[in-house]
Amino acid sequence: MTEASWSSSKLVRSSAPEKHTVSGAAAPWEDDKIQPLSGNPFFSIVMCPSHVKPVYNLYVPNKMYDILPPKDMAADFMYRGREWETVYHGKRTKGKRFGPEWKHFVEDNDLKVGDACVFELMVCTSRQLKFRVQILRDEIPPELRGRMGVADR
């Protein structure tokens, strides 16, 4: 599978393997305010206990399987001008997921059951993925929370 077959034309593509670090002025996708989506592929997840407590599992929704590369590779979550490194496990046949390093993002950002995260794919190269994350804290109306299987805090 070629890089172009799983990359969007709006995504930042690069063959450079070096690590991107956040310094100085924040890039447009690193602002801490809620931003409109840029048109890049994205997925959203309402946090449940398995996302924010041990075992800290974060599986990627099926709709992203054709967009993300089918291999294990570095992935970064960007939020409020900071970056958290993890591993994307794309080789798996029983659910693509992020590695246990996801726990650090959860703890550093005090994610709770019922919070929602929007993961927008900003960079997709043959060696790295970068997601801009937006956190919506307890923004789900109570009448919908029960239908989604999310208990009130």
Domain parsing of the chain, residue ranges: 3-9+39-144
- Please, what sign has the CA dihedral across residues 44, 47, 52, 53? negative
Mean pLDDT of successive 10-residue stretches along the chain, which has 153 residues: 40 40 44 77 95 96 95 97 97 93 98 94 96 86 60 52
| 3-class secondary-structure state, position 124 | strand
In angstroms, the CA 70 to CA 92 distance is: 8
pLDDT of 142 reads 66
Asked whether the beta carbons of 118 and 133 are under 8 A apart, the reply is yes
pLDDT of 128 reads 95
The two beta strands, 116-124 and 58-59, are: unpaired
- Rounded alpha-carbon distances, angstroms, from residue 106 to 3, 29, 40: 30, 19, 23
Class (C level, CATH) for 3-9+39-144? mainly beta
pLDDT of 15 reads 40
